Amino acid sequence: MGIRFGDGRDWFFEKRFGLFVHWGLYAIPAWHEQTLYRKGMTRDEYVPLVQQFNPVRFDPDAWLDLAEEAGMQYVCFTTKHIDGFCMWDTAQTDYNVMHTPYGRDVLGMLAEACHRRGFPLCLYYSVVDEHQPNYPNQGRSYELPGPVPGDEPNLDKYLAFVRAQVRELCTRYGEIHGFWWDANILAHRDPSVNAMIRELQPNAVINNRGFDEGDFGTPEREWDEEVRDLRAFERPIEACQSVGVESWGYKVDEDYYSDLYLIHSLDRTLAKGGNYLLNVGPKADGTIPEEAARILRAIGRWYQNVREALDGAEPASHLIDMRDVLFTRKGNTLYAHLPCAPTRNRLLLKPLDVLPRRVTLLNTGEPVEAVVDFLPSQHHEKREYLRLRNLPVNRLTDTVLVLKLEFDDLPL
């Protein structure tokens, strides 16, 4: 077994594919979750959206049904993004969902559905707050250009507010499986806040974007070298990615990643031992956009065929001498994860030189031909190696191929 915490947080290594949900007032202008920061909208222009928030079609079970169809096993929900609007019945500010026409605690509804279904719930919380009068807005990333008339920037008071909100989130909604900090632009350090979360919610994993380094890293989208270049992660990781190219919240005319790109990204992250948090931005009515739902279902169809190569499997890419193919392992079974566009229809599995009992293409269940022989390209070593032949790389071009190699005794 690889890296473990050795306590209740280890659920994180069993359930490794999660649904990220960015939902808030920003679903109404339907442009980006950072509408104030990126579009230069003022607080006065944004706040009246409260009067329009009425997601009459919000059904947490529909979200979780879709997540399950995708093969996801936990959810992470934006309780408060940088706009400062709170999606729960908080006593710390009126700027919350109870004061909308909808008037219901959406976090409470989601938490109820999660607990009823045994579906772990993690909470996203932004440190930047474009609404709280005590937050010291100074025009840094995600912030307003400066305090608004009437604001009283005061970091101590703001941190007391954060602490009170975190306590609410960790005491009023039953078991919380994770706390997902974001946007600590202040670079504020204070391990006592995570210590409080740990005391109130001992099974919660905490990410590394809060007031200390937390439990796991959060490489984002395709920008991170750790995700791109490593063949196995050396620390707990949860890579995050959105189905939409531009925004995490709902965008009305969003551009989307291709199914193949997302499947490849999911496969590679899981095969390296990481977790994967894939985001959708529900619309203002509470439903998940059709294209986002279609993408999740397409991923689910792939995942359900190959998931035995990922669930409970250890990263094993160091065993085989190959650059663009990743490997995972369960005992004497080895799994090969092919790249998006394989360059050839064979795999040469150096240094293996024994025949597996059986080789199967998990995507379709079809058998794969295996031989051990001496190839011209190996003339320097004059050795035989295991070769898998006639892989259907020209027939199955719109998916990530995963092979299962069952050995009687894997000599590695």
Nearest CB to ligand GLC, comparing residues 33 and 129: 33
Residue 106 CB, shortest distance to ligand GLC, in Å, is 17
Nearer to ligand GLC, 14 or 220 (CB): 220
**CA gap 81, 33 in Å, rounded:** 8
Candidates 66, 65, 61, 31; CA nearest to 46 is 31
CA distances in angstroms from 50 to 25, 85, 180, 337, listed in the order given? 7, 9, 24, 47
Number of residues near ligand GLC (by CB under 6 A): 6
Minimum CB separation from ligand GLC for residue 138, in Å? 18
> How far is it, in rounded angstroms, from Cα 27 to Cα 46?
12
Which of 83, 182, 215, 267 contacts ligand GLC by CB under 6 A?
Answer: 182
For residue 139, give the nearest of 45, 249, 248, 40 by alpha carbon: 40
Nearer to ligand GLC, 34 or 363 (CB): 34
369 lines the binding site for ligand GLC (CB under 6 A): no
State the minimum distance, in angstroms, from the CB of residue 19 to ligand GLC.
13
Contact partners, residue 282, CB within 8 Å, separation at least 6 = 21, 23, 27, 55, 58, 63, 250, 288, 289
For residue 69, give the H/E element and its range.
helix 60-70
14 near ligand GLC (CB under 6 A): no
CB of 409 to ligand GLC, least distance (A): 44
Q: Does 248 bind ligand GLC (CB under 6 A)?
A: yes
Position 128 contacts ligand GLC (CB under 6 A): no
For 291, the enclosing helix (H) or strand (E) is helix 290-306
Site for ligand GLC (CB under 6 A): which residue of 33, 143, 259, 267?
33
Nearer to ligand GLC, 248 or 385 (CB): 248
H helices present in 126-180, as ranges: 155-171
- Strand duo 402-406 + 333-337: pairing: antiparallel
For position 34 contacting ligand GLC by CB under 6 A, the verdict is yes
Closest approach, Cβ 245 to ligand GLC, in A, equals 13
Residues numbered 192-221 forming contacts with ligand GLC, rule: CB under 6 A: 220
In a 3-state reduction of DSSP, which class is residue 312? coil
Q: Which of 64, 206, 227, 240 binds ligand GLC (CB under 6 A)?
A: 240
Considering beta carbons, is residue 218 or 399 the nearer one to ligand GLC?
218
270: amino acid identity, one letter: L
DSSP 8-state class, residue 148: P
Q: Which residues bind ligand GLC (CB under 6 A)?
A: 33-34, 182, 220, 240, 248
